[in-house]
Chain A
């Protein structure tokens, strides 16, 4: 794809077109083939849970969607913009795609409120007062507004992850990516984070979530994707996926995670 086409492609998709479109995506880490021929299309408002054994490439796949990882073959179009080496386009995509990490990755030298207002002020060029007002709104929504002036290090893991979600929401993203958001949490804190995510799903946010929380997948997802060894093995509605898995690999995986 040439530069002119890339620029022309910006923001031209019509209603009903997928917000994320991956075609034949491959990725290698050195010699290791991590992603193999990924075809994925995500509609607006769709809630997708991605599961699979560790090392199956699920995190790598969603990290390709905001170019934290670079794919080497195939095409990824997000919000009408193709992800290439063009830095400007990458920044445009990242504005519209929020990401929540396994280890929260809050900025420890900034307060909770500053964590939330930084990107709106510097990337969206919002006035400080407006950014703070919006940040407080989202912090209320994740029920942590009273901690706004604390530093991340003073909060528990669950609280930090809720702040991380609020920080992403402050950019008013069109898509939210969750990369194992509850895996680093103590068990008693998983629910508070999942509750926030369920609330977000109910409000119609487009979500892609890599998670091992099968309860969340059953109750929230529109579609469950199962990945193994770099490929998408199976995808279906949660009901079909859990009750009538098609492939043997899926059956094996489900038997391993559900019967313990």
Chain B
């Protein structure tokens, strides 16, 4: 190759394009390059193929072929052995809505719809306008009215009765949407020129990050009331929500700080030189770029916090995981834990995978055209 270049006969386009050699393209070449390129990779490939061959048929058999369809009574299920999907159909409303009064469960159902609609609407960049905040306030107020009731002829439902998917969604969506602006301020504070603000931000972030979420939830539910004067009662759900916000804010602040640090100094200088003040420079120049860079770590935090809401079970709140566990404690349905965990696992997965997919799309959209 190199010899050709140095002989002086530099190709000038007179040689027609040729197809690559057939042994370097196509599925056979792919197999050889990726699965059988060394003897140990070939061994691993064969081993994994054998494991899949052993594992997949019984799994499919349990899931589908021998599964008992909806309506099969649990006694029959136990004898037959396959998956008992009756558990899901029978316990669906309890798992989804927890102990919310049975006849009023249309209310948490609409709550789910409203929250998902809010999130979906916020995914569209055309809606990223100031009025979107108003839509959120309106939507979340509607959620509050629906869940609590006590007005508009709705019966009052204490929030200790809330549970299932609405609780999971409320904790995570409200938590993350409040934590996000707080985390932006913390990230900016950590890089502030003002020592007091910097010290407060760093202390907060390092303190919260250094404590497990579970202990923070315990503190919120057990220790916090000790500091309150007697008679003042702070709602347990609210306390858990605040603990989540504090925790998520500290983590997201660090993700955003990473983005801020990646912005070249010249961007700050150009914004300054044009006479923009601090908030204009941050809001118009620095943050739009820093947040775009921070999307992968931010979404990572979003996903892990969505799942971490299941920790509220330890302070006696019944989120989706909690209601599934409670459903399993029904003596008639004891033992169907595989069906229960698979079912809620799928629900969690659908939400998390959607977040991941959306973030990838957003990253692509924001990068388009910007940098070469």
Contacts and interface: CB of A to CB of B under 8 A. Distances in A.
A101 interface: yes
Interface stretch (B80-88, B137-145, B246-254, B264-272): B264-272
Counting chain A residues whose Cβ lies within 8 A of the other chain, the interface size class is 20 to 34
A204 interface: no
Contacts of B266: 101, 103, 105
B284 interface: yes
A154 B372 CA distance: 7
A122 interface: yes
B371 A119 contact: no
A170 B46 CA distance: 67
Contacts of A94: 272-275
A119 B275 contact: yes
A123 B274 contact: yes
B323 interface: no
Contacts of A154: 369, 372
Interface in A73-105: 87, 91-92, 94-95, 97-99, 101, 103, 105
Interface in B314-372: 366, 369-372
Nearest to A167: B274
Interface stretch (B32-40, B90-98, B285-293): B285-293
B259 to A, nearest CB: 12
A106 B371 CA distance: 11
Interface centre among A87, A106, A108 (most CB of B within 10 A): A108
SS class, residues of chain B in contact with chain A:
helix
Interface centre among A92, A97, A119 (most CB of B within 10 A): A119
A101 B370 contact: no
A106 B271 CA distance: 9
Contacts of B267: 105, 107
A142 interface: no
A16 to B, nearest CB: 26
Given A68-B269, A101-B269, A105-B270, A171 B370 contact: no
A153 B370 contact: yes
A60 interface: no
B280 interface: yes
Contacts of B366: 109
Contacts, number: 70
Interface in B170-197: none
A97 B267 CA distance: 17
Given A118-B284, A122-B280, A109 B270 contact: no
Interface in A151-171: 151, 153-154, 167-168, 171
Contacts of B280: 122-123
A92 B372 CA distance: 35
Contacts of A109: 288-289, 292, 366, 370
Contacts of B288: 109
B370 A151 contact: yes
A118 B269 contact: no
A151 B369 contact: yes
B276 interface: yes
A154 B370 CA distance: 8
Contacts of B270: 99, 101, 105-107
A123 B271 CA distance: 11
A105 B272 CA distance: 11
Interface string A105-125: 111110000000011001100
A91 B289 CA distance: 23
A97 B371 CA distance: 28
A66 interface: yes
B24 interface: no
B371 A153 contact: yes
Interface centre among B267, B269, B371 (most CB of A within 10 A): B269
B160 interface: no
A153 B371 CA distance: 5
A222 to B, nearest CB: 24
Nearest to A101: B266
Contacts of B155: none
- What 7 A-B pairs have minimum CB-CB distances, sorted nearest first? A105-B270, A105-B266, A119-B274, A94-B275, A95-B275, A99-B273, A151-B369
22 contacts: A66-B272, A66-B273, A68-B269, A68-B273, A91-B275, A94-B274, A98-B273, A99-B270, A105-B269, A105-B270, A107-B267, A107-B270, A107-B285, A107-B289, A109-B288, A109-B370, A118-B285, A122-B284, A123-B275, A154-B369, A167-B274, A171-B275
Given A68-B272, A122-B284, A171-B274, 9 more contacts: A91-B275, A94-B274, A98-B273, A105-B266, A107-B267, A107-B289, A108-B370, A109-B292, A153-B372
